[in-house]
Amino acid sequence: MSKETKALDRNSILEGKSPLALSIARLRRNKMAMVCFWILVIYSLTAILAGTNIFGLQDQALVFELQNRYQSMFGSLQYLFGTDTFGRNVLARAIMGTRISLFLGLTSGLIMIPIAIVIGAVAGYYGHFLDDLAVYIMSVIVAIPGMLIIMSLVQVMGRSFLIIAFAFAITGWVGLARVIRGAFFQAREFEYVLAARTLGANDFRIIFKHILPNIFHFVIVRFVLNFVSVIKSEVFLAYVGLSVIGIPSWGNMIVESKSELMAGNWQNMTAATIFMFVFLVSLNIFGDALRDALDPKLKNVS
């Protein structure tokens, strides 16, 4: 008996806390991760702001002011990163680029996740023919270099924002679907799933109430880290000339800087690199912390 009461006493401060609440508490104790989290929030707000023409942001980013070319960096806050070949405000362009990058990551994530969940869950839970089919589709996609599919799709379908996001999703879902498939496959035989079935629960209830919530951390972590790969890939697409047209993106800025560097004009390069680097570092650190905090295997609360 003493052992049983002890288990409760030890946790009495945490009583009634769900595993999710415990995970969040764990995450909040990680200072580094919280700093990164707030940086990511700032980026998100910036991205939303960049959708409006606040402070004449969009005008400064897009309109040519040739008499104003190549202003040097760090002169004033408004022209923190100077101006480019056409006299556009590089800071404003980097802010607009934030918008493109974040929305590309968000959109492709939102396309990719339902695909991955449905295919992974169906394959892992029902097995047999459906599983064979899913595994087949995945092995075909894996057999072609991802970047090649993305490039071909964008080249053929056009360089629009949605198509680029779609292309990223088409290659990106496979990894997540595999993880989900494996998790479902195992979860089918978990005793708490069997218990629910003994009570009479149907497939829908078992999938959505018992299995998915217990593997959802895979989805969340992948969603966060998807931004990293999307942003890096966008730079690549920009280099091969297949990123969004007419809108400044970090990739487009870096590519433009290629011809400016020789003449010693570092504005585009500096701004895009700093914006991107800080964002990616924060994503990577936060993503890792999230993975550790959400992992149900880590039982230690302290």
- Interatomic CA distance for residues 272 and 254, integer angstroms: 6
Comparison of 19 and 51: residue with beta carbon closer to other proteins: 19
Find the binding residues for other proteins in span 26-45 (CB under 8 A): none
In the shown chain, the binding pattern of residues 139 to 178 toward other proteins, with x for contact by CB under 8 A and - for none, equals: xxxxxxx-xxx-xxx-xxx---------------------
Considering the rule CB under 8 A, would residue 6 count as an interface residue with other proteins? yes
Comparison of 106 and 147: residue with beta carbon closer to other proteins: 147
Burial class (CB in 10 A: 0-12, 13-18, 19+), 195: exposed
- Interatomic CA distance for residues 237 and 150, integer angstroms: 9
Window of 2-10, 62-70, 76-84, 118-126 that interacts with other proteins by CB under 8 A: 2-10
Closest residue by Cα to residue 267 from 96, 81, 92: 81
Q: Contact 101/249 with Cβ under 8 angstroms?
A: yes
SS3 88: coil
Q: Contact 212/268 with Cβ under 8 angstroms?
A: no
> In terms of residues, how long is the chain?
302
Considering the rule CB under 8 A, would residue 123 count as an interface residue with other proteins? no
Considering the rule CB under 8 A, would residue 245 count as an interface residue with other proteins? no
Considering the rule CB under 8 A, would residue 106 count as an interface residue with other proteins? no
Considering the rule CB under 8 A, would residue 254 count as an interface residue with other proteins? yes
Q: Tell which one of 31, 52, 191, 204 touches other proteins (CB under 8 A).
A: 191
Comparison of 11 and 53: residue with beta carbon closer to other proteins: 11
Window of 53-61, 63-71, 87-95, 239-247 that interacts with other proteins by CB under 8 A: 239-247
Comparison of 75 and 213: residue with beta carbon closer to other proteins: 213
Considering the rule CB under 8 A, would residue 7 count as an interface residue with other proteins? yes
Comparison of 92 and 294: residue with beta carbon closer to other proteins: 294
Find the binding residues for other proteins in span 195-214 (CB under 8 A): 195-201, 205, 209-210, 213-214
Q: Tell which one of 169, 179, 276, 293 touches other proteins (CB under 8 A).
A: 276
Burial class (CB in 10 A: 0-12, 13-18, 19+), 150: buried
Give the CA angle between residues 52, 55, 61 to the nearest 5°: 75
Considering the rule CB under 8 A, would residue 13 count as an interface residue with other proteins? no
Comparison of 82 and 251: residue with beta carbon closer to other proteins: 251
Listed in sequence order, the residues at least 6 apart from 109 whose beta carbon sits closer than 8 Å to its beta carbon are: 169, 223, 226, 227, 230
Considering the rule CB under 8 A, would residue 71 count as an interface residue with other proteins? no
Burial class (CB in 10 A: 0-12, 13-18, 19+), 218: buried
- Interatomic CA distance for residues 299 and 21, integer angstroms: 13
Listed in sequence order, the residues at least 6 apart from 100 whose beta carbon sits closer than 8 Å to its beta carbon are: 161, 234, 244, 247, 248, 249, 250
Minimum Å gap between C-beta 59 and other proteins is 28
Considering the rule CB under 8 A, would residue 137 count as an interface residue with other proteins? yes
Considering the rule CB under 8 A, would residue 300 count as an interface residue with other proteins? no
Considering the rule CB under 8 A, would residue 90 count as an interface residue with other proteins? no
